[in-house]
């Protein structure tokens, strides 16, 4: 029997397929489109917000960007992993699903994509923008994440910096040190049978997309996105903007402060105490309240904030 509360399928794009999933497709409010992180992660973890689609009567649209998850590619495609590809994919998704008016939320890399899409394409119908634990400057991200390494034991910090200098991330010592960084500033660990299935089920990551676009080191972008800098262009955004981040987030409070102050439109910033990169999990209930109340507030006002 078909689940009428969830619509999913595939959209053709550049000769490939983009998997999409819409929860409460018949909701009465303006849809929320969520852009996942990475590049090369998946939509999976954002399924923790599924119940909100019904509680707030709002369709929630997610998709796996090509090259990862249910949109994985079987052979190498390094020429695809540029910002323009992902911007085009989002445009294609909106066109083929008739998403004329949307709220757009991007997490981590998804926030970068949302900014690049909003600033460079200036698309119609983006009612509001939510930037969740993201970045607007690759160089500032590098500075701030290197500062976070100071919170690790000295020997772990040295292992991570040595791997970066030598471009060799293959050692067990590196894996252990990075896992500690991950637990401190990103998220997890999650356990099957205890945590929601969407956080623990196996997923196919887009390693090629991540390595080509960002690089092998979380703290030092060397790929096609290494020159990503849009902070100075924030005044080109006219719609309301919500910033969401954590105190222990690798998207550090300072980075979010710089972004917040650069905005000249209606704006709000929610900073969650003792929360890491995945604020929507660490502070799920408060995160949901803040996000969906912001969307409700701007369903009507957004009509007057088109570019």
- Tell me the two tokens of residue 242: 């919500």
Q: Which of 238, 288, 246 is nearest to 267 (CA)?
A: 238
- Options 36, 43, 107, 277, the catalytic residue: 277
For 86, half-sphere exposure in the C-beta direction (CA atoms, 13 angstrom radius) is 30
Tell me whether the omega of the peptide bond preceding residue 39 falls within 30 degrees of 0, making it cis.
Answer: yes
Specify whether 108 is catalytic.
yes
As a whole number of Å, the CA-based R_g of the chain is: 19
- Options 249, 251, 275, 282, the catalytic residue: 249
Specify whether 82 is catalytic.
no
- The 3-state DSSP class for residue 257 equals helix
- Options 45, 72, 108, 132, the catalytic residue: 108
Q: Cα–Cα distance between 91 and 76 in angstroms, integer?
A: 24
Question: Which residue stretches of the chain are H helix?
Answer: 50-55, 83-96, 109-116, 138-148, 154-166, 172-185, 197-200, 207-213, 253-262, 279-282, 284-301
Specify whether 232 is catalytic.
no
Q: Which of 13, 3, 126 is nearest to 53 (CA)?
A: 3
- Tell me the two tokens of residue 38: 């990475």
Q: Cα–Cα distance between 206 and 299 in angstroms, integer?
A: 34
DSSP structure string for 46-72: GGGGHHHHHHTT--EEEEEPTTSGGG-
The torsion of the CA quartet 139, 145, 146, 147, rounded to 10 degrees, works out to 110
Cα angle for residues 143, 40, 283 (degrees, 5° grid): 65
CB 277 within 8 A of CB 129: no
DSSP assignment letter at 205 = -
Residues designated catalytic: 108, 249, 277
């Amino acid at each position: 029997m078909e689940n009428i509360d969830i619509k999913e399928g595939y959209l053709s794009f550049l000769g490939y397929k983009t998997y999409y999933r819409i929860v409460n497709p018949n909701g009465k409010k303006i849809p929320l489109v969520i852009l996942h992180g990475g590049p090369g992660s998946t939509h999976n973890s954002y399924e923790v917000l599924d119940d909100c689609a019904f509680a707030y009567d709002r369709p929630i649209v997610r998709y796996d960007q090509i090259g990862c998850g249910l949109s994985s590619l079987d052979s190498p495609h390094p020429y695809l992993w540029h910002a323009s590809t992902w911007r085009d994919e989002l445009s294609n998704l909106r066109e083929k699903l008739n998403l004329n008016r949307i709220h757009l939320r991007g997490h981590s890399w998804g926030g970068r994509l949302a900014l690049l899409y909003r600033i460079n394409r200036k698309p119609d119908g983006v009612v509001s923008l939510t930037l969740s634990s993201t970045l607007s400057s690759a160089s500032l991200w590098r500075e701030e994440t290197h500062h976070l390494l100071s919170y690790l034991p000295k020997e772990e910090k040295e292992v991570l910096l040595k791997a970066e200098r030598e471009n060799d991330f293959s050692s067990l010592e590196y894996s252990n040190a990075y896992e500690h960084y991950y637990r401190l500033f990103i998220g997890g660990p999650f356990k099957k049978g205890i945590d929601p299935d969407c956080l623990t089920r196996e997923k196919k990551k887009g390693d090629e997309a991540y390595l080509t676009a960002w690089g092998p080191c979380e703290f030092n972008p060397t790929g096609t996105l290494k020159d990503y800098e849009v902070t100075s262009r924030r005044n080109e955004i006219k719609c309301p903007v919500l910033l969401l981040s954590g105190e222990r987030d690798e998207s550090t409070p300072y980075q979010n402060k710089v972004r917040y102050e650069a905005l000249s439109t209606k704006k709000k910033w929610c900073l969650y105490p003792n929360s890491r990169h995945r604020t929507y999990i660490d502070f799920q209930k408060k995160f949901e309240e803040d996000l969906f109340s912001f969307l409700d507030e701007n369903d009507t006002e957004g009509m007057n904030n088109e570019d």
